[in-house]
Amino acid sequence: MGTGKTAIGERLASVLSLRFQDNDSRLVASSGLTPRELRLRDGVAVLHALEAKELLAALRDPSPSVICGAASVVENGDCRRALRDAGVCAIWLRARASTLAARFYNEPHRPVYSRDLTDFFEGQLASRGPLYFEVSDGIIDIDELSVAEAVEHAFGIIRAHTAKVRAG
């Protein structure tokens, strides 16, 4: 949350002329509820299970697309296995906890996890960082980057991934 994955993903999909699939939008379409509403009604475990289900469904879609997964999906073993598939180029948009806290907005669709956002994001980075690293084909440190600059970095990662897959 707060890395700019939707803005970057939408721009990347547009430039590549690919479909854009956002985990939050898929979740709303399938459940009729925002992530915040799901968390309040059913709890965080149910929210995360549904986020994982939607990511896996998006990854099974045969048409190429740019997919923005929810941050929690990296904790799911099935999702990590799917993200390591050779046909998937997984990019970690990494940011410092202070950057995430400064960018985070309590928009109506986002679950609220803590009043101390910097502390919350430090905990998330500590627990999820190794998992993101495990599945990522490339990392973009987005703290000081514009959307356009992040998209340029993503192109480089995609080119390297494509070359690696072709080389076998």
Q: Which domains are delineated in the chain?
A: 5-167 (3.40.50.300)
H helix runs in 84-146, sequence order: 97-103, 117-135
The answer to whether residues 131 and 75 touch, using CB atoms and an 8 Å cutoff, is: yes
pTM comes to 0.88
Look at residue 166 in the predicted model and tell me its pLDDT.
92
- Whether the predicted pLDDT of 106 surpasses 70: no
Mean pLDDT of the region 49-65: 96
Which burial class, exposed, middle or buried, applies to 49 when counting CB atoms under 10 A from its CB (0-12, 13-18, 19+)? middle
CA 101/CA 28 separation, integer angstroms: 24
Average pLDDT for residues 57-66, to the nearest whole number? 96
pLDDT band at 107 (very low <50, low <70, confident <90, very high): low
CB atoms within 10 A of CB 91: 23
On the question of pLDDT at 70 being above 80, the answer is: yes
Mean pLDDT for 113-131 is 86
Is the pLDDT reported for residue 127 higher than 80? Answer: yes
Residues shown for the chain = 168
pLDDT for res 121: 87
* CB-based contact 27:35 (threshold 8 Å): yes
% of the chain surpassing 70 pLDDT: 94
Cα separations in angstroms, 156 against 112, 115, 148, 159: 34, 37, 13, 5
Question: What integer pLDDT is reported at residue 111 of this predicted model?
Answer: 56
pLDDT band per the 50, 70, 90 thresholds, residue 114: low
